[in-house]
Amino acid sequence: MLTLVLILIPLLVALVLLALRGGAVKRVALIASLAELALAVYVLASFQPDTTSQFSLSYHWIKSAGVQFAIGIDGISVLLVLLSTLLVPLIILSTFNHSYRNPSSFYALILFMQSALVGVFVAKDAFLFYFFFEAALIPIYFIAALWGGENRIKVTFKFFIYTIFGSLFMLLGLVYLYLQTPGTHSSLLTAFYGLNLSASQQGFLFWALFIGFAIKMPVFPFHTWQPDTYVESPTPATMLLAGIMLKMGTYGLIRIVLPIVPEGVQQWGLVAIVLAVIGIVYGSIIAIQQQDMKRLVAYSSFAHVGLMAAGIFSLTLDGLQGSLIQMLAHGINVVGLFFIVEIIFSRTQSRDLTQLGGITQNSPVLSVFFIIMVLGSVALPLTNGFIGEFLLLKGVFTYNTWLGVIAGTTIILGAVYMLRMVQKSMFGLQTTVTEQFTDLNLNEILVLAPLAVFVFWIGLFPNGFLKLTEPAVAELLRAMK
């Protein structure tokens, strides 16, 4: 029942917000998201690290078709539920210095999206998973299209085309799997896991499912929607996209692709890793060339996601554990970075590194938070990024030494583009647009402080997080063999 409540709180409050007006809207949205976080913390504290699905609930949804509203939390989904409930209140709080037109719809769409995201991570039925997966895309599409930049219509249309294309492939794969289940058919994921599919069937299904998730992550060459969408979307939408939504793709690989088509993974996993590694290097090189801070962070996110995908297809405990904890770490770091870029833009009306400089002279507090987020992003030891990247690279090295070496360049390239961004924006001489720069206000500190705490908490005490996922990941690998 607690899992259902996690889905219902943001959904019901979103409906209430549509009827509210004025300043109460954002306050109600924040209170609801904090209540959601409090419930998620209680669930996390009660969670027993093992191979079972906990806080489970199942009802017949379409009984004649064998489709069930089956939900639960296990070791693979628990960190994603924490991520979804942790970041949304911070994202809502980050908007308190801005006035968005039609705030009722704006905040309602954020909560609608949170409800769907939690649904994706707790669904135990394939069609329920698909329902929440698609439901999460609708709010972000409208947020980007209605509150985005000048090119928002063109960019969101491109995002829509990519999304529809990927979703059709995924739906094709799920329907085919459903038809393979015996008797009156079932869409439960456990029924899909038990199917005896031939090698050729698994090869076809691998690509149908992989393309659907690869677009959402995104993985090279399915990434071209991402940078433009991140730049043109309002910053809260960018934080939702990069911090949480792209994790639907990496989560789908672990939850759907690996256990259902293990032979397909064996056949095509090398191709998937090569594409992921190309994305790591390509994304990093493009990031180095960027002058727009928001676009730079977008390409860095693309590179980091490539490493997660490579770790998943390494089919090692380290690679899968690394991908799960890196999803949590990446979400925290990238939300912090995008928020700091937004703070700089709101004070200078510029994200161009050639126009910035010397910001640290007037804003020591912002400088400290910026450097903390950058250090986490470049995987400095004792920060959250180090744990995930170390495990991911170890997994890729175990799979293939040369691919591990190439993927390892992300450490050097990541340091180059991130430290370049810090050096050009924060140090040196002040410019005409940064002379009057002011330091963080209380509201901005309240957003960044919890993120900074998690950067060091995960980096200093990773075992508590790793123990939550280890039994479920180990069982997944055993089942694949």
Q: What is the pLDDT of residues 282-311, one digit of tens each?
A: 999 999 999 999 999 999 988 999 999 999
With 80 as the cut, is the pLDDT of residue 157 above it? yes
DSSP 439: -
Question: How confident is the model at residue 219, as a pLDDT?
Answer: 87
CA distance 280 to 311: 12
Question: How confident is the model at residue 233, as a pLDDT?
Answer: 87
Question: How confident is the model at residue 144, as a pLDDT?
Answer: 87
Q: Are 247 and 335 in contact (CB under 8 A)?
A: no
Q: Which two tokens stand for residue 472?
A: 């479920």
Query: Counting every residue, how long is the chain?
Result: 481
DSSP 315: T
Question: How confident is the model at residue 151, as a pLDDT?
Answer: 80
| Mean pLDDT of the region 243-254 | 92
- Each residue's pLDDT tens digit, 15-27: 999 888 877 899 9
Question: How confident is the model at residue 99, as a pLDDT?
Answer: 82
CA distance 465 to 29: 28
CA distance 448 to 452: 6
- Each residue's pLDDT tens digit, 342-383: 999 999 999 999 999 899 998 999 999 999 999 999 989 999
* Domain, as residue range, for 207: 1-480
Question: How confident is the model at residue 274, as a pLDDT?
Answer: 94
3-state secondary structure of 236: helix
Amino acid 228 reads: D
CA dihedral 352, 353, 355, 359 (to 10 degrees): 120
Q: Are 303 and 410 in contact (CB under 8 A)?
A: yes
3-state secondary structure of 23: coil
- Each residue's pLDDT tens digit, 110-120: 999 999 999 99
Question: How confident is the model at residue 97, as a pLDDT?
Answer: 83
Mean of pLDDT over the chain: 91
With 90 as the cut, is the pLDDT of residue 230 above it? no
CA distance 312 to 374: 24
- Each residue's pLDDT tens digit, 394-415: 999 999 999 999 998 888 899 9
Amino acid 4 reads: L
Nearest residue to 235 (alpha-carbon basis) of 329, 136, 336, 156: 336
CA dihedral 237, 242, 247, 250 (to 10 degrees): 140
Select the more confidently predicted residue: 217 or 470.
470
Q: In 3-state terms, the chain is what percent helix, strand and coil (to 5)?
A: 75, 5, 20
Please report which confidence band the pLDDT of residue 229 belongs to, taking 50, 70 and 90 as the band edges.
confident
150 φ/ψ angles, rounded to the nearest 5 degrees: -60, -35
With 80 as the cut, is the pLDDT of residue 481 above it? no
Which uninterrupted H or E stretch holds 474? helix 463-480
Please report which confidence band the pLDDT of residue 479 belongs to, taking 50, 70 and 90 as the band edges.
confident
Please report which confidence band the pLDDT of residue 51 belongs to, taking 50, 70 and 90 as the band edges.
confident
CA distance 159 to 222: 11
DSSP 292: B
DSSP 383: S
**Sequence-distant (≥ 6) Cβ neighbours of residue 262 within 8 angstroms:** 202, 480
Side-chain-side CA neighbours of 438 within 13 Å: the count stands at: 6
- Each residue's pLDDT tens digit, 456-478: 999 999 999 999 999 999 998 98
Question: How confident is the model at residue 98, as a pLDDT?
Answer: 84
Side-chain-side CA neighbours of 181 within 13 Å: the count stands at: 21
% of the chain with per-residue pLDDT over 70: 100
Q: Which two tokens stand for residue 219?
A: 């993985």
Q: Are 260 and 187 in contact (CB under 8 A)?
A: no
Total count of domains within the chain: 1
3-state secondary structure of 342: helix
With 90 as the cut, is the pLDDT of residue 227 above it? no
- Each residue's pLDDT tens digit, 129-139: 999 999 998 89
CA dihedral 238, 240, 242, 247 (to 10 degrees): -160
Question: How confident is the model at residue 16, as a pLDDT?
Answer: 93
Question: How confident is the model at residue 62, as a pLDDT?
Answer: 87
DSSP 49: -
DSSP 71: E
Question: How confident is the model at residue 159, as a pLDDT?
Answer: 85
